[in-house]
Chains A and B, each alone.
Chain A
Amino acid sequence: MPPPSDAEIEREYLRLKKEAEAGGYHLNPDRAFVNGLVSGLLANTGRYGYPSCPCRLAAGVRERDLDIVCPCDYRDPDLTEYGACYCALYVSGEIAAGKKKAGAVPERRPPGGPKKKETPATGIGALPFPVWRCRVCGYLCARDGPPEVCPVCKAKSDRFERFI
């Protein structure tokens, strides 16, 4: 597969930047570094059909890679603890402003991906609807099933988990 063109990288970069800023996130200010990651995301979309994390080896099956589809499940805890996500595509406000530099973030994903966990069908009392949680942004909604796309961050329905 040919590598993505500079124009494609630029287009995708601007889209990601807009999306990040609309959600209160920041992209890494190091443009050359980010261009490499955006190119990697485009390459993975071409290879697997979804933008899996460029810094992790994908299984190539969406169901097995759901937790590492960018933005991955680990972005927020890594941002809180290290000021950058694992790839350093997303960074804290401090790093975005150039006051600090992004460094290596230890891998918190369990080797081979997380084990499937069964969510108990009963939670707090008897709720009329199950509560669904978007694993990307934390959005919660109470309805029979998850929405097709997250109304907040636009993640697809398979990024939701049953919360209660």
Chain B
Amino acid sequence: MDPIHVAGTDKGRVMLFALSTCGWCARTKELLNDLGVAYDYVFVDQLPREEMERVYADMMKRYNPLGSFPTVVINGRVIVGYKEEDIREALI
């Protein structure tokens, strides 16, 4: 999997697992863009089927057993769903 990198201020490792069709995922991406931080993201639904299953299983095992989107990992802290305050706080 090659996540897409968005350039910005380095706040550590910020990884977003998202769906291209999801409104809350879009909100999360907009928030990260507005905050101007560097991050990586992957649209899991747009991956080829085999890779999708691998990435999804890995996301569930490592970060979010519910398998829900968006899942943001900020320096090891996992934030499930669009939680603006939590994301802002984790990026300080």
Contact = CB atoms under 8 A, between A and B. Distances in A.
B83 interface: yes
A56 to B, nearest CB: 7
B63 interface: no
Nearest to A47: B45
B39 interface: no
Interface string A35-55: 011011101100000000011
A54 B60 contact: no
A23 interface: no
Contact of A111 (B20, B23, B26, B66): B66
B25 interface: yes
B12 to A, nearest CB: 23
A104 interface: yes
Interface residues of B, number: 23
A18 B72 CA distance: 35
A36 B56 contact: no
B49 interface: yes
Interface residues of A, number: 24
Interface in B1-45: 19-27, 44-45
A17 B26 CA distance: 22
B83 A104 contact: yes
Interface in A53-78: 54-58, 60
A9 interface: no
Contacts of B60: 111
B22 A87 contact: yes
A44 B56 CA distance: 18
A106 interface: yes
Interface of A: 33-34, 36-37, 39-41, 43-44, 54-58, 60, 87-89, 104-107, 111-112
Given A104-B83, A111-B65, A111-B67, 18 more contacts: A33-B27, A39-B21, A40-B20, A40-B21, A40-B23, A43-B20, A54-B19, A55-B19, A55-B21, A55-B69, A56-B69, A57-B19, A57-B56, A58-B45, A87-B22, A87-B24, A104-B82, A112-B67
